Amino acid sequence: MTVMTPNPIDQEDEEMLVPPSDLPENNHQPMEVVAQPETANNVENQPVEDPPSSRFTWRIDNFSRMNTKKLYSDIFVVGGYKWRVLIFPKGNNVDHLSMYLDVADSTNLPYGWSRYAQFSLGVINQVHNKYSVRKDTQHQFNARESDWGFTSFMPLGELYDPSRGYLVNDAVIIEAEVLVRRVVDYWTYDSKKETGYVGLKNQGATCYMNSLLQTLYHIPYFRKAVYHMPTTENDLPSQSIPLALQSLFYKLQYSDNSVATKELTKSFGWDTYDSFMQHDVQELNRVLCEKLEDKMKGTVVEGTIQKLFEGHHMNYIECINVDYKSTRKESFYDLQLDVKGCRDVYASFDKYVEVERLEGDNKYHAEQNGLQDAKKGVLFIDFPPVLQLQLKRFEYDFMRDTMVKINDRYEFPLQLDLDRENGKYLSPESDRSVRNLYTLHSVLVHSGGVHGGHYYAFIRPTLSDQWYKFDDERVTKEDIKRALEEQYGGEEELPQTNPGFNNTPFKFTKYSNAYMLVYIRETDKDKIICNVDEKDIAEHLRERLKKEQEEKEHKKKEKAEAHLYTIIKVARDENLVEQIGKDIYFDLVDHDKVKSFRIQKQMPFNLFKEEVAKEFGIPVQFQRFWLWAKRQNHTYRPNRPLTPVEETQSVGQLREVSNKVHNAELKLFLEIELGPDLHPIAPPNKTKDDILLFFKLYDPEKEELRFVGRLFVKSTGKPAEILSKLNELAGYSPDEEIDLYEEIKYEPTVMCEPIDKKFTFRASQLEDGDIVCFQKPISVESDQQFRYPDVPSFLDFVHNRLVVHFRSFEKPKEDDFSLELSKLHTYDDVVERVAQQLGLDDPSKIRLTSHNCYSQQPKPQPIKYRGVDRLTDMLVHYNQTSDILYYEVLDIPLPELQGLKTLKVAFHHATKEEVVIHTIRLPKQSTVGDVINDLKTKVELSHPDAELRLLEVFYHKIYKVFPQSEKIENINDQYWTLRAEEVPEEEKNLGPNDRVIHVYHFTKDTAQNQMQIQNFGEPFFLVIHEAETLAEIRVRIQKKLQVADEEFAKWKFAFLSLGRPEYLQETDIVSSRFQRRDVYGAWEQYLGLEHSDSTPKRSYAANQNRHTYEKPVKIYN
């Protein structure tokens, strides 16, 4: 399964589904079709052919005069499938053109259809083709998602502006490129039968782990070492990483079906939330190997991890003019290789050992020789038998202030020679007798973008020519082209479908590419690709797994034969004694905890009684069985005894009598009467006048309820007649006075009413299976001593009782303490109990936050002071109820805090290069002026009379200068950075023709044939004078930013409006460019400083308060 996390800010490329069509489709425009269907092989494990692909062009005339909400193109065929393009000319509820690829005949296709396509959609720029807008994606189309594409394809403002070149003669040209891949039938495909190997089940987002585990499993020497780690039959796989891994590897080796990884992730100490987080594979690899290395210490396999994966390199610094050299030896388990700027693995190794010169300002301090020119570099002392190369496909982009994925083409060879060019990568002391020639064993692939995607692996387990693709549960045979060339990344070019048209070849970025390679040294391969068989596996492990397998088979058989059997659950007095007052308080028994029998439906009930006699030692003639019935008030009670005729019927017929609903179980109560010698005797005759009642005794002092027995009473009799018998059951003196109550129901509320001893049982409406609770009466004086003086109050308490686990908000994974509370507790009751527990005098300083059952984290918003009525309201999350609450101890009472607004403000010092984040807390009705006054008391100003202002900065642009009078209640600092700074003197004394302009740093990024401007760094305001040239402004900017001459000489200056740069010459009058007033938002027209961004990422980035999407990998055990 693939988990995608959309980028929270930039929704430009977010794929969105379109609602089903509700408009007529006869509003087509004339179009030109350039599409020819091609056929493809439909079984993936056959020799792989190039998938069918096609380009389709659609010209739409009278575009601006259209008043239709949505528009479909004509149908075109690719890969034998019918497709069409769907557009929303005025946007699908957005101010962008919305465009999707649609399966044209989705409503007529057979149930369960699906098809997979990579595709690109484009709007052609008819003036400059290079400015055409193209976006590509991939999707598995099915009945539920029959169209896919881009809701925000391009801004309507750009599309409808004739000067931009997209709308010419009121016509728009749309292009679609579609590449179809056929999909193997997922449900009927048998990996073991087709390939000899099985896959791993995905727990939610664990495909990254599955690809790594398959790679490690297929290194036989590693697998053998794992099998030889000492484990015992008393270990539990969920608590022992070695045993869990042994178990997993054994199943991969001998199972016929895909294998679950739950035991292994449990042994890591992960909860389900960790399994739904996509982690970094390299990090998981390192952490897992470190754990195994640690667990192998002191065992026969100690040192295996080092033997297989550890290599060494030498860091050196060598002075050029004096005889001084410093070296440091370091070990590595994997190597991180640059992808950006490197065409292949060799180029990355060249870069790895590249010599850096330390000179000029960067001289090396060589101890007694002082500062010296020097060479710095890395050389390899030795490489390991198994070489793991991590390709740096993900890296931090300083210009965009975000992580990006590098999809560039990057080649890797089948054979890797690290002795090449006379051992250029090797240090002088390396052993040259070792031949460092490696052969490729596995290619781990990531498909998707930086915020999510899918992982799988191509492996050749025996280093033969046959490759296999391990994609979660499915394993398929693949050819070498699919495993190597198709994983290089870069762009893929679609073949020309109609050479008669002068179409430029269409290229689209391939989002599936290799991110980790595993090579095995030729001279070690026979040792590493060794034989691993049953004798390598501990006896107890084989036994355990054999038993597991047998149990599985047994369950499977039971399931297959379930229709032939009935489960009979037999409750007895002993069960009631064991359970009432411990496991249960209401009704009589938990049927899941009584003896159950699996009986063939054809068996006569009388024969079943013999089974019962064997099990319980009760002769058949002394057994009487009662059927249970669910009453209208949802209680479940014994209803009537089986008749002699019913006892001659088969078990299956009886089940149908007892169950109106389709249920495979028959529930019975076994009534056994004991004589004076406590041996079973025949049950008494039961007439219509006899009622079977069950009795529970309550002790208010101990707050204890227990089952004491059952009695037959006459319906015409009165409770007074059985009081002495009840006292005997309770162990009281015969004449002890007792109060009686009937337990009537407990859902949704408890109903338990006193029984009037003067009335007959019939008059009190008592019948078979009813429950009577009794207790000693409580005098008025002693009433205060007990929390729950009578049966109804105790049952109310039990019904609403709830144990809540409290966690500190700072440590959301760890239970801190638990409290027994009532569902009916008010907000004040709950915080008072928490304050008592923490030894806090003022409960109003406690702030509580509810639990999100899905993310297993606190909800983003805390509970407001008295914002809920009851404890139950605090624990509900959608339709689920949790038993976890988070608490914080505040420095001021919560009602007071709620009346305040808290803002995080970044203060930029006027003369020092420093930024300090201040937390400002003021009443909500305060103004920006109040924030500034508060800030002045906390910051260091350049002079006492300095004026401050507050700005809103977002993605390196200034969007707003807050007026002093603006109320702070609606200011949002969650996504925007609030910046405070001194107002420069020059802005206070503006001349009549002076202007204040925005100045931003930027860099250009040409992705997908489109130029994109990326802003970075700190934006600022600048005063420009009427006739001032760029040369004069440059001097002021250099002084303001304190940039060195050498660096500043590389900077370019441009006027930018709506993202398009016009570069300025030294003699240009800058103010003449800033005359337009019709630009929406001053921030869209600015003076741009183009240069590379070398500043480290600020910790107070725009999304400072947001939940992060990735967590570090932790293996807890």
| Catalytic residue ranges | 207, 454
Q: How far is CA 664 from CA 598, 876, 891, in A?
A: 10, 33, 59
Phi, psi of 39 (to 5 degrees): -100, 155
Cα separation, 308 vs 332, in Å, equals: 11
> Which tokens sit at 324?
């001084």
What the block records as the tokens of 271 is 């909860």
Q: Please give the DSSP secondary-structure letter assigned to residue 629.
A: E
Closest by Cα among 377, 460, 385, 463 to 425 = 377
User: Using CA atoms, how far apart are residues 1093 and 1006, in angstroms rounded to an integer?
Assistant: 16
Q: How far apart are CA 600 and CA 482, in angstroms?
A: 54
Three-class secondary structure of residue 115 per DSSP: strand
Q: Which of 307, 316, 346, 333 shows the shortest CA–CA distance to 429?
A: 316
With a CB cutoff of 8 Å and minimum separation 6, the contacts of 812 are: 857, 858, 886
Reading the block at residue 701, the tokens are: 């002092």
How is residue 547 written in tokens?
């038993």
Phi, psi dihedral angles at 935 (to 5 degrees): -65, -40
DSSP 8-class letter at 106: G
Edge-first strand order for the sheet with 900-908 is: 915-923, 900-908, 977-982, 948-954, 957-961
Q: Taking Cα atoms as reference points, which of 95, 152, 97 lies closest to residue 124? A: 97
Residue 610 CB neighbours (<10 A)? 13
Please answer whether residues 471 and 456 qualify as being in contact, where contact means their C-beta atoms are separated by less than 8 angstroms.
yes
Sign of the CA dihedral with 575 first, then 581, 582, and 587 last: positive
**DSSP string of 136-203, one letter each residue:** EEEEEEESS--EEEEEEEEEHHHHT-GGGSSSBTTBEEEEEEEEEE----TTT--HHHHHS---B---
Give CA–CA dist 678/883, Å, rounded.
46
Amino acid at 168: V
- Find the DSSP H helices in 196-259: 207-217, 220-227, 241-254
Between CA 702 and CA 587, with CA 752 as vertex, the angle to 5 degrees is 75
In whole angstroms, what is the distance from residue 459 CA to residue 518 CA? Answer: 9
Helix axes 651-658, 605-616, angle to 10 degrees: 90
Contact present, 211 and 280 (Cβ < 8 Å): no
Cα(646)–Cα(651) distance, rounded to whole angstroms?
Answer: 9
CA distance 190 to 209: 22
Looking from the CA of 783 toward its CB, the CA atoms found within 13 Å total 5
**Which residues does 164 contact at the CB level (< 8 Å), separation at least 6?**
125, 131, 158
CB atoms within 10 A of CB 798: 18
Q: How far, in Å, CA of 139 to CA of 236, rounded?
A: 41
Nearest one of 467, 462, 489 to 478, comparing CA atoms? 467
User: What count of Cα atoms within 13 Å lies in the side-chain half-sphere of residue 90?
Assistant: 8
